[in-house]
Amino acid sequence: MNTRSHYDVAIIGAGMSGLAAGIRLAHFGKKVCIFERHNAVGGLNSFYSIAGRKFDVGLHAMTNFVRPGVKGTPLTKLLRQLRIERDEFALCEQKQSRIAFGPRGETSLRFTNDFAVLEAEVAARFPAQIDGFRALTAAVRSYDDVSLDAQPISAREVVRRHLADPLLEDMLFCPLMYYGSATERDMEFGQFVIMFKALFLEGFARPFEGVRLVLRVLLEKYRAAGGERRMKCGVKQIVTREGRATALVLDSGEEITADHVISSIGAPETERLCRAGFTPDRSGLNPDLQVGRLSFVETITILNRQPAALGWGSDTIIFFNDAERFDYARPAGRVDPRSGVICLPNNFDFGPGRELSEGVFRVTCLANYDPWAALPEEAYRAEKARVFAEVQRSARRFLPAVDDATLADATLTTDMFTPRTITKFTGHFGGAIYGAPVKHRQGRTALSNLYLCGTDQGFLGIVGAMLSGISMANYHILQRG
Amino acid sequence: MTKDECKQVVLEIIADIAPDEDLSNVKPDVRLRDQLQLDSMDFLDIVMELRKRHSIEVPEKDYMQLASLDSCAEYLTPKFNALPAKS
Ligand SMILES: Cc1cc2nc3c(=O)[nH]c(=O)nc-3n(C[C@H](O)[C@H](O)[C@H](O)COP(=O)(O)OP(=O)(O)OC[C@H]3O[C@@H](n4cnc5c(N)ncnc54)[C@H](O)[C@@H]3O)c2cc1C
């Protein structure tokens, strides 16, 4: 008799996608266990404390926001599938966001959760392009983006059929790429459609308490449905035999077995668990196992006042760029401060009299993993400080002017993460938040009972990751009975 | 179980999987899809909730039988009545 633990389904990783898959499976009576290496859930979307202060990782905004009563969109689908009542997430809407291009953000497009605002802005700034923009929007609306077997086409090509102004083209791509492209310079059109809907046709919101609330709701659903979870319990090997995953070896050496395995840790990361001696393919010779080239740094500045007190009260998210052409690519140096994303989480509409207790000013820029990874500890710290200043200085050009002394006086503390931080805490190779450039929409792997969900299945972001977990659990396990 | 009770069971399931739908005026002879926003994920859930709560199996080839409340009742009532009596 075998005394090892046996599960119907073992899930690797307690990020958004793994938790969502777990909820579905546990709800329908499967014996499920989620194995997580870290001591916290959430993965790329989590939080941590330093000196009693909680910092959110990830979550600038939950995309795909729609108001109650709007149905058939990703947010409503995922709430239904996870049996979450809308009120449980208590989403608060953004005030407004902006795409700001030029050395001081001279060309700017505002957008809110009401698409008409963006449309009017495009009409005002790019009158010659508005018909094309409307045609592009129509093409986006009618595209079947949930098909799991669509043929890849270039989004740049499709967009250029409608828009003749490269500035407008870049301005539209900038937020969509920052919030959901694992590929440099161009996107697959299906992914462009998903992101266009998620940001522009739908919108941004967040719970007052941030990502912690989302995680708490997910964990509670999972627990109530009877799912098991083992923390600080990484999977170090997937034992394979005759084309199947037959056992998982945990970091402790313990072995467990499962009929099905779902991995949320990424495609090359999963491959490494299956094959001893596997090293991620940086040459790109095996496109299925490429490591993503895109990584990010983020600076976090905690303020002793609301951003509004500095004159920064109107914008929730700002996507900025001052390069001639927007260059969404791995930078040559450690970081590319020419473009990025500013997030002021205080500027969601939390309702009368309610505000976050401290001001937060975050800036994300593209970064290159390799030069960060190679640095010895001391040099790493020094570089962090240098890049912090560079990134913050660049971003401030796109906000109303605040002099250095005032900002310094308002600053309580700062923190920063780099590509190295991402790899350390989530295990993603290359600090690649959006994973590998080649996605596996059907979640299949070389092993018949091992499936991918999350980042490398290809639905990105918080809402995307949850939908990915749901779809893979449905498609590979629940639908088969 | 009567056909009306069977319709009630189906409505209860829909109320749980789609709490954002108003079910007070569902017409039994009209396709559910035509009066409610239910997609294929939701229909899969109806099938799985039937299995989970009532041990009723609906094979994929019979999914069309769940199109309206009337057709659900037609198809499911005999299945309910064929279940071993609950003790
Ligand atoms: C700075 C930042 C900002 C972001 N901003 C936003 C935003 O504003 N809006 C938005 O929608 N999305 C945002 N995202 C993206 C979003 O966080 C991710 O797309 C999503 O969380 C991915 O979830 P996942 O489940 O696919 O992967 P992950 O979160 O990576 O989950 C994988 C889990 O597996 C665990 N793991 C890895 N290896 C092992 C192993 N061998 N054994 C066991 N466990 C293992 C990891 O610890 C991790 O918990 C942001 C991400 C970052 C980093």
Average pLDDT for residues B81-87, to the nearest whole number?
79
Residue A127: C-alpha distances to residues A62, A124, A164 (Å): 31, 6, 12
Contact B41 A474 (CB under 8 A): yes
Contact B20 A86 (CB under 8 A): yes
d(CA A337, CA A386): 12
State whether residue B81 sits within 8 Å of chain A by CB. no
Q: Which tokens hold the place of A86?
A: 């809308």
Contact B41 A86 (CB under 8 A): no
CA A355 to chain centre: 25
Q: Strand A255-263 to strand A450-452: parallel, antiparallel, or no bridges (unpaired)?
A: parallel
d(CA A219, CA A216): 5
How many helices (H) and strands (E) are present in chain A, helices listed first? Answer: 15, 18
ipTM of the complex: 0.90
Contacts of A292 (CB under 8 A, 6+ apart): A182, A428, A429, A430, A432, A433, A434, A435, A436, A437
Contact call for residues A356 and A343 (beta carbons, < 8 A): no
pLDDT attached to residue A241: 96
d(CA A147, CA A223): 31
Residue A175: C-alpha distances to residues A7, A97, A99, A227, A465 (Å): 41, 10, 7, 36, 18
Give the helix/strand (H/E) hosting A212.
Answer: helix A211-224
State whether residue A226 sits within 8 Å of chain B by CB. no
Contact call for residues A140 and A193 (beta carbons, < 8 A): yes
Contact B42 A86 (CB under 8 A): no
Residues pairing with A228 in the sheet: A33
Encoded amino acid at A141, one letter: R
Ligand 1 pocket (Cβ < 6 Å) reads: A 12-18, 35-38, 43-45, 57-63, 234-235, 264-265, 298, 426-428, 433, 454-455, 460-463, 465
Shortest CA distance from B18: residue in chain A: A80
- Render pLDDT for B30-72 as a digit per residue (tens, 0 to 9): 999 999 999 989 999 999 999 999 999 999 899 999 999 999 9
Which residues between 70 and 89 in chain A have a beta carbon less than 8 angstroms from any beta carbon of chain B?
71-72, 76-77, 79-81, 83, 85-86
Pocket test for ligand 1, best of A44, A57, A194, A439 (most atoms within 8 A of CB): A44
Contacts of A51 (CB under 8 A, 6+ apart): A413
* Ranges in chain A, pLDDT < 70: 1-3, 145-149, 280-288, 481
For the range A231-235, what are the long-range contacts, defined as Cβ-Cβ under 8 Å and sequence gap of 24 or more? A231/A14, A231/A36, A231/A38, A231/A39, A231/A40, A231/A41, A232/A36, A232/A37, A232/A38, A232/A39, A233/A35, A233/A36, A233/A37, A234/A35, A234/A36, A234/A37, A235/A12, A235/A35, A235/A37, A235/A273
State whether residue B70 sits within 8 Å of chain A by CB. no
Contact call for residues A18 and A34 (beta carbons, < 8 A): yes
Phi, psi dihedrals of residue B54, rounded to the nearest 5°: -125, 5
**Whose CA is closest to atom 49 on ligand 1?**
A43
pLDDT attached to residue A46: 87
Contact call for residues A442 and A475 (beta carbons, < 8 A): yes
Instruction: Determine how many CB atoms are found less than 10 A away from the CB of residue A373.
Output: 15
Q: Strand A97-101 to strand A317-321: parallel, antiparallel, or no bridges (unpaired)?
A: parallel
Which chain B residues contact residue A476 at CB under 8 A?
none
Give me the helices (H) in A61-165, please: 74-81, 86-89, 115-125, 130-142, 155-162
d(CA A268, CA A206): 32
Cα(A16) to ligand 1 centroid in Å equals 7
Q: Find, among A435, A429, A479, the residue nearest to A458 by Cα.
A: A435
d(CA B32, CA B36): 6
d(CA A281, CA A434): 17
Q: What is the pTM of this model?
A: 0.94
